[in-house]
Amino acid sequence: MSASRPASEEAFARSVKSIPGGVNSPARAFGAVGGTPPFIASGNGPHLTDIDGNQYIDYIGSWGPHILGHRHPSVMGAIAAALETGTSFGAPTVAEAEMAELVCELVPSVEKVRMVNSGTEATMSAIRLARGFTGRNVIVKFAGCYHGHVDSLLVSAGSGALTLGTPSSPGVPEGCTSDTLVLNYNDVGQLQEAFAGKGEELAAVILEPVCGNMGCVIPSDRFLTALRELCTEHGTVLIFDEVMTGFRVALNCAQSRLGVTPDMTTLGKIIGGGMPVGAYGGRADIMDAVSPVGGVYQAGTLSGNPVAMAAGLSTLRQLVADNPYDRLEGMAERLAGGLLSAAEAAGVPAQVNRVGSMLTLFFNDAPVTDFATATASDTDRFAKYFHGMLDRGIYLPCSQYEALFVSAAHTDELIDQTIAAAQDTLATL
């Protein structure tokens, strides 16, 4: 069984001549699974249609933003109304203030917020602000957590627990990562050791409160509690990167669900409703260190773009009005259970990690709790699974190390259809 995609193959052959790898972000390439990516013509509700006319049940949702599904009427209407007034002014608008007020209302840690244009820009700005606010240089990140293509965060672990990181990408000078310490996610002992040795040097700790970029990996309560206590004790800024989890796993973000309030939060994806948006916010005393109030410089010509603000505001207001989270939880739980049962029936070793409406099926015979256990998964088997599901009309992330997303546009019938496709696919592996 194989879907025909000749138009996509032709489009890809054309693209690779003028775009590196044929894609404008590596996550869209099929490097981890092989083959040619479908080129998408349109999205509607829970579905995508490629340029060959194949329709898919979509579990990517533009990598997270489309929690309401594609082309939600309220969001599309808000975008159309905003376009009637122009596309960008380089001057303040009321929509920016409305967005800031709503984010401050919904996110427990945010007293003030600054809009930017991407999640990468948000994390880069948050790190700079934490350093400027504390007067310190060293930051902590965790192996497997991705925070955008920021030089100081594109770093791999050193040879020991307290060894500062080395660049993991060509083009990043060692000086950019020489003040970045990489620790293991969920490792409380290593965290305590790092603070004992370098606590007075640490400007910030940044992490995904629920990981999505090594697949869905869940933090332990002990890990988060220790992290919050140590940051408070040492005056270190705790930054939750909620670009993926913000308004995804709960209306008030992962921090409300997990019961731990950071000092700063970075946001993206859902707050743009599918348009390019990011934000960073936190305690007022920290945020007031940003120019023009304070001395930490950050700027952006298109930050707070009126069309993006319209899309994001409409999305957030719809989430407040509909509060679809119980239903999302139920559908995602149903999907997770169905995938795990299908794997067990096929005799395929597997684990499913889920928080809210994001989840990952790992081809792994042991629990996945950090980067090391995630990367022990069977990626060859995942590649076969991915293509089997794609051929059966199910559009999944093209990497073992990504989370899939259930949207409010999905239905129980589509979840059952997905589970049936997984049963068929896994039986062939």
**126-143 tens-digit pLDDT:** 999 999 999 999 999 999
Inter-residue contact 159 to 153 (CB < 8 Å): no
Measured between alpha carbons, how far is 375 from 184 in angstroms, rounded to an integer?
A: 13
Which residue of the set 56, 59, 146, 280 is catalytic?
Answer: 146
SS (H, E, C) 353-408: EEECCEEEEECCCCCCCCHHHHCCCCHHHHHHHHHHHHHCCEECCCCCCCCEECCC
Measured between alpha carbons, how far is 79 from 296 in angstroms, rounded to an integer?
A: 33
For CATH 3.90.1150.10, the residue range(s) in the chain are 6-67+324-426
- Average of per-residue pLDDT across 416-424: 98
Q: What is the pLDDT of residue 72?
A: 98
Measured between alpha carbons, how far is 319 from 408 in angstroms, rounded to an integer?
A: 10
Q: Identify the CA nearest to 253 among candidates 319, 308, 205, 203.
A: 319
Q: What is the pLDDT of residue 394?
A: 98
Kind of pairing between the strands at 351-355 and 278-282: unpaired
For CATH 3.40.640.10, the residue range(s) in the chain are 73-322
73-322: what CATH class? alpha beta
Evaluate whether the domain defined by 6-67+324-426 bears CATH number 3.90.1150.10: yes
Does residue 1 surpass a pLDDT of 80?
A: no
Q: What is the DSSP letter of 303?
A: T
Q: Which is more confident, 282 or 157?
A: 282
Q: What is the pLDDT of residue 130?
A: 98
Does residue 102 surpass a pLDDT of 50?
A: yes
H runs (alpha helix) in 135-251: 174-177, 188-198, 221-234
Does residue 162 surpass a pLDDT of 60?
A: no
280 is catalytic: no
Neighbours of 133 (CB within 10 A): 24
Does residue 161 surpass a pLDDT of 60?
A: no
17 is catalytic: no
Which residue of the set 269, 325, 370, 401 is catalytic?
Answer: 269
Q: What is the mean pLDDT of the chain?
A: 95
Which residue of the set 58, 179, 241, 370 is catalytic?
Answer: 241
- Average of per-residue pLDDT across 321-347: 98
241 is catalytic: yes
Inter-residue contact 276 to 112 (CB < 8 Å): no
Q: What is the pTM of this model?
A: 0.96
